[in-house]
Chain A
Amino acid sequence: MTLGEGCRADFPILARSVNGRPLVYLDSGASSQKPRQVLEAMQRFYERSNANVHRSIHTLGEEATEQYEAARDAVRAFVAARYRQEVIFTRGTTDGINVVAATIGRTLQPGDEVIVSEMEHHSNLIPWQMACRDRGATLRAIPLVDGAYLDMEAYARFLGPRTRIVAVAHISNVLGTINPVAEIVRQARVVGAMTLLDGAQAAPHLRLDLAALGCDFYVCSGHKMLGPTGIGVLYGRLETLERLEPGVGGSEMIKEVWIDHAQWNDLPWRFEPGTPPIAEAVGLHAAIEYLDKLGMDRVSAHERDLTRRCLEALSAIPGVTVYGPRNPEIKGAVVAFNVAGYHPHDVAALLDQSGVAVRAGHHCAQPLARALGVTGTLRASFSVYNTAADVERLADAVAGLRDQL
């Protein structure tokens, strides 16, 4: 039994039908489904231990705090961070990037430069546009080569003494390209620039070793990695976090408060204003335990196999164009494609009639769509519970489109 076949039964939603056909869910890149273990952990928390964290001197408050902080330890191990102070809970990837942009943004000077790339999700573009606009800094975007890869020569040219931060995707949410992040981080450090990696598509798919990677920031979302919505992780390198002023304020992130000033709390709470997503942290903890049990190396190999099958099956259908790297070894669990003569939204709607869920549109990466010369694409993305049969259902539905429209 393959990994996908083995864990399908843990995901209750996969038992349902859509339009009279068994659901084939190929939109995990947008949001993954949740195993029973995650749903039960959250239910148990709400039924047994629900309370606010860090300030309630009663049993439930202590249990909630204990479970919330245990989730932090689980994340630390999962991403291989050195210290638990490096793990900050956010509301998601977008929130994590905004927390960093708000923090670094206020220190930007006119003439400073921020480097992003042409393949960024809007979430890793707009916060930097806003920060640069507010401070008179310059935003530069690494262009693409061959419509799939970052132009590393252009990146080297962009880097300089004015570069303050480099913010790029670990894995493109459209192309699936696994970017050479270790090299990107290494080169940024040479010029003294900070680095932020958008790991929304990578954390569910790859074994991470952030201590070894050496980036200053890494962000990801719980809901794309079998966990609940409303929680994300912002990893910050301890040495970097220690010298940064928080950009977002509120309760929890302070030690002592006066009317006109305050003393910041210790790390990691300094960057966690307000009541955090507690039940969601408990759910994320269960999701991490689930992934750990499967083993991230097996998860990667399984999803790589599905990506390879999908590339082969779609490429064999006349009129289908596939985007991004053709080699599954350097590609995440994402395959973007178009069908000649058909609008992506029509294709997605017709696939849905066959019970196959894919995403269609610009995937919150309009500059990338423009660079590819398309208004949008279809995107099939995979998770642990997908199988080779799912890929076959997709390919059959795509091949049968011409009879439907």
Chain B
Amino acid sequence: MSAVQYSDVIRERFRKPRFRGRLEGATAAFEDVNPLCGDRIAIECRIEADRLADARHHGDCCAICGASADLLIEMGLGKTTKELGRIATPDLLERLEADIRPTRLKCVTLPLTVLHGALAGKAVAR
């Protein structure tokens, strides 16, 4: 793991996010807020035959949170809803290759909470 908080992975995802935006024909969506900073992120998903066919994220959040959401979607594509439910914080931390400080851990975990909320059919953000 790199010693810097803003790793190359985070910088690259901040500059060129691959899954940022809205998703036409979403079948599940959820949005949540980080109470520490007021950041807000939404994930819209299309589930086909119990697998994540496509997803997008959007909202008002920091580079770490945005990168986490982008990587989470990339990791999740093609996975079954059960497999998606098993993705956890250490998986994201490993992919971010960054030294995330405790004060910023919630920035990493918020997209995970949001994805799991969407899968649980908690609400539709639109």
**Counting CB contacts under 8 A, is B97 at the interface?**
no
In the complex where A405-B6, A405-B63 touch, is A345 in contact with B38 (Cβ < 8 A)? no
**Residues in A whose Cβ lies below 8 Å from that of B62:** 343, 345-346
Cα-based distance from A349 to B112 in the complex (angstroms): 22
Cα-based distance from A405 to B8 in the complex (angstroms): 9
**Residues in B whose Cβ lies below 8 Å from that of A361:** 36-38
**Residues in B whose Cβ lies below 8 Å from that of A405:** 6, 11, 14-15, 63
**Residues in B whose Cβ lies below 8 Å from that of A342:** 63
Give the Cβ gap from A375 to chain B, nearest Cβ, in Å. 5
Q: Which of B1-24 contact A (CB under 8 A)?
A: 4-6, 11, 14-15
Cα-based distance from A350 to B63 in the complex (angstroms): 11
**Counting CB contacts under 8 A, is A369 at the interface?**
yes
**Counting CB contacts under 8 A, is B124 at the interface?**
no
Contact at B104–A376, with CB atoms within 8 Å? Answer: no
**Counting CB contacts under 8 A, is B92 at the interface?**
no
Please pick, from A343, A362, A369, A375, the residue contacting B63 in the complex, using a CB distance under 8 A.
A343
In the complex where A350-B6, A404-B6 touch, is A369 in contact with B61 (Cβ < 8 A)? no
A-side interface residues, number (CB < 8 Å)? 15
Cα-based distance from A349 to B37 in the complex (angstroms): 14
Give the total number of A-B pairs whose CB atoms are below 8 A apart.
Answer: 43
Q: Which of B31-47 contact A (CB under 8 A)?
A: 36-40
Contact at A376–B37, with CB atoms within 8 Å? Answer: yes
Cα-based distance from A229 to B110 in the complex (angstroms): 32
**Residues in B whose Cβ lies below 8 Å from that of A369:** 38
Please pick, from A345, A350, A375, the residue contacting B107 in the complex, using a CB distance under 8 A.
A345
Contact at B6–A343, with CB atoms within 8 Å? Answer: no
Please pick, from A343, A350, A366, the residue contacting B61 in the complex, using a CB distance under 8 A.
A343
A42-72 vs B: 1/0 string, CB under 8 Å?
Answer: 0000000000000000000000000000000
**Residues in B whose Cβ lies below 8 Å from that of A343:** 39, 61-63
Cα-based distance from A151 to B114 in the complex (angstroms): 40
**Residues in A whose Cβ lies below 8 Å from that of B60:** 375
Output the residue of A349, A361, A376, A405 with the most chain B CB within 10 A: A349
Q: Which of B47-85 contact A (CB under 8 A)?
A: 60-64
Cα-based distance from A353 to B6 in the complex (angstroms): 10
**Residues in A whose Cβ lies below 8 Å from that of B5:** 349, 353
Cα-based distance from A186 to B59 in the complex (angstroms): 45
Give the Cβ gap from A373 to chain B, nearest Cβ, in Å. 11
**Residues in A whose Cβ lies below 8 Å from that of B14:** 346, 405
Give the Cβ gap from A50 to chain B, nearest Cβ, in Å. 34
CB closest residue in chain B, given A349: B5
A24-35 vs B: 1/0 string, CB under 8 Å?
Answer: 000000000000
Cα-based distance from A405 to B66 in the complex (angstroms): 13
Cα-based distance from A375 to B101 in the complex (angstroms): 21
CB closest residue in chain A, given B11: A405
Contact at B104–A375, with CB atoms within 8 Å? Answer: no
Give the Cβ gap from B90 to chain A, nearest Cβ, in Å. 21
Cα-based distance from A345 to B5 in the complex (angstroms): 12
Contact at A375–B38, with CB atoms within 8 Å? Answer: yes
Give the Cβ gap from A319 to chain B, nearest Cβ, in Å. 15
Please pick, from B6, B39, B40, the residue contacting A349 in the complex, using a CB distance under 8 A.
B6
Q: Which of A341-364 contact B (CB under 8 A)?
A: 342-343, 345-346, 349-350, 353, 361-362
Give the Cβ gap from B98 to chain A, nearest Cβ, in Å. 11
In the complex where A369-B38, A375-B39, A376-B38 touch, is A345 in contact with B104 (Cβ < 8 A)? yes
**Residues in B whose Cβ lies below 8 Å from that of A404:** 6
Give the Cβ gap from B64 to chain A, nearest Cβ, in Å. 7
Cα-based distance from A342 to B66 in the complex (angstroms): 12
Q: 17 pairs across A/B with beta carbons < 8 Å?
A: A342-B63, A343-B61, A343-B62, A343-B63, A345-B37, A345-B104, A346-B14, A346-B63, A346-B64, A349-B101, A362-B38, A375-B37, A375-B38, A375-B40, A404-B6, A405-B11, A405-B14
Q: A353-B6, A361-B36, A405-B11 given; name 16 further pairs at CB < 8 Å.
A: A342-B63, A343-B61, A343-B62, A343-B63, A345-B39, A345-B104, A346-B64, A349-B104, A361-B38, A366-B38, A369-B38, A375-B37, A376-B37, A376-B38, A405-B14, A405-B63
6 A-B pairs with least C-beta separation: A343-B62, A345-B62, A346-B63, A346-B62, A375-B38, A375-B60
